[in-house]
């Protein structure tokens, strides 16, 4: 087994609290068709490549060790294909690791759980259900034992939280992109998860709606005291949202650096500390430093 590249952490004022999510030497390999997964990719750490070995197996990510603290909003930042989404799906319990370990609250993850809510890149709403029933579906699919009136109150409270009061009867095709993503977030929250996992949820939104949704997400996560992991390839988005940003190398994904973001909330997008961190991350990806705008990778 080859070694993951060292993780660099910016100094922090105090050590983090005990980990909510713990990944240790986590590796995911997809085997070539009809073959067992090999564990030796041919690309070196930090070198762009396809992460495939001679047998055709693909290493999505390799040797990732990471602790996510209770109540933290961590962003996973990297180029397309570096294993960000795969890692998120494994934390959600939808896939398994090929090697290494994953625990939540000290217990191994062995499948999906209502304690971990997942928001996909696409809205994944049921087109034949209205907004209210799309959100309530999460409660109906899980045997909660809740009284119908309690379910109704829970759904309506969530719709108010995400700003969709008055749209309970609307169908997905009648919603804007931002509204549809609010429904998806509400559905992920309806079972009161302790952990919220978000897989590039704002990619399809226009710039103005995207910024609004970023602020709404931070408000909801912090208000409800959840731990959250947000996958993105947008540098400015990662730094604006995250308490920390874990930068992944090209496939096979390894943690290149973990950047702490010591900026108080609510954040000013032009805060000097954010701009300095942005310049640092640009250089980590070999990008020219820009004074205005944002950059996706």
Domains of the chain: 19-115+194-284 (3.40.50.300), 126-192 (no CATH)
User: Residue 163 has which token pair?
Assistant: 């700003």
Q: 26 pairs with which residues across the strands?
A: 64
| Dist CA 138 CA 156 (whole Å) | 14
What pLDDT does 164 receive? 93
| Dist CA 56 CA 264 (whole Å) | 46
Helix H or strand E segment including 68: strand 58-69
Nearest of 250, 233, 247 to residue 277 by alpha carbon: 247
Give me the helix-helix angle, 148-161 and 177-189, nearest 10°: 140
CA 283 to chain centre: 23
Q: 101 pairs with which residues across the strands?
A: 24
Nearest of 181, 180, 255 to residue 217 by alpha carbon: 181
| Dist CA 165 CA 216 (whole Å) | 15
Q: What is the mean pLDDT of each run of 10 residues along the chain (297 residues)?
A: 44 57 96 56 42 73 96 96 94 96 95 93 90 91 76 92 93 93 92 95 90 94 95 96 96 94 95 95 79 58
**Residue matched to tokens 């294909």:** 81
Question: In the 8-state DSSP scheme, what is residue 163?
Answer: T
Give me the helix-helix angle, 177-189 and 207-224, nearest 10°: 20
């Amino acid at each position: 087994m080859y070694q993951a590249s060292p993780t660099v952490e910016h100094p922090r004022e105090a050590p983090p609290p005990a980990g909510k999510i713990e990944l240790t030497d986590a590796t995911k390999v997809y085997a070539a068709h009809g073959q067992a997964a090999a564990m030796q990719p041919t690309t070196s750490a930090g070198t762009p490549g396809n992460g495939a070995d001679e047998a055709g197996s693909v290493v999505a990510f390799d040797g990732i060790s990471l602790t996510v603290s209770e109540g933290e909003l961590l962003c996973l930042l990297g180029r397309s294909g570096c294993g960000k989404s795969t890692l998120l799906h494994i934390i959600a319990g939808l896939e398994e690791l090929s090697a290494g370990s994953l625990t939540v609250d000290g217990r191994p993850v062995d499948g999906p759980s209502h304690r971990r809510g997942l928001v996909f890149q696409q809205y994944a709403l049921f087109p034949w259900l209205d907004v209210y029933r799309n959100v309530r579906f999460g409660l109906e699919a899980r045997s909660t034992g809740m009284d119908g009136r309690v379910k109704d109150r829970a759904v309506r409270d969530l719709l108010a939280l995400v700003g969709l009061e008055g749209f309970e009867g609307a169908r997905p095709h009648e919603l804007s992109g931002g509204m549809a993503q609010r429904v998806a977030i509400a559905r992920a929250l309806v079972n009161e998860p302790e952990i919220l996992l978000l897989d590039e949820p704002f990619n399809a939104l226009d710039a103005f709606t995207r910024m609004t949704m970023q602020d709404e997400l931070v408000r909801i996560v912090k208000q409800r005291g959840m731990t959250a992991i947000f996958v993105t390839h947008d540098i400015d988005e990662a730094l604006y949202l995250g308490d920390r940003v874990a930068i992944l190398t090209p496939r096979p994904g390894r943690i290149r650096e973990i950047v702490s973001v010591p900026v108080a909330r609510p954040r000013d997008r032009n805060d000097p500390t954010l701009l300095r961190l942005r310049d640092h991350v640009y250089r980590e990806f070999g990008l020219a430093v820009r004074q205005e705008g944002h950059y996706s990778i």
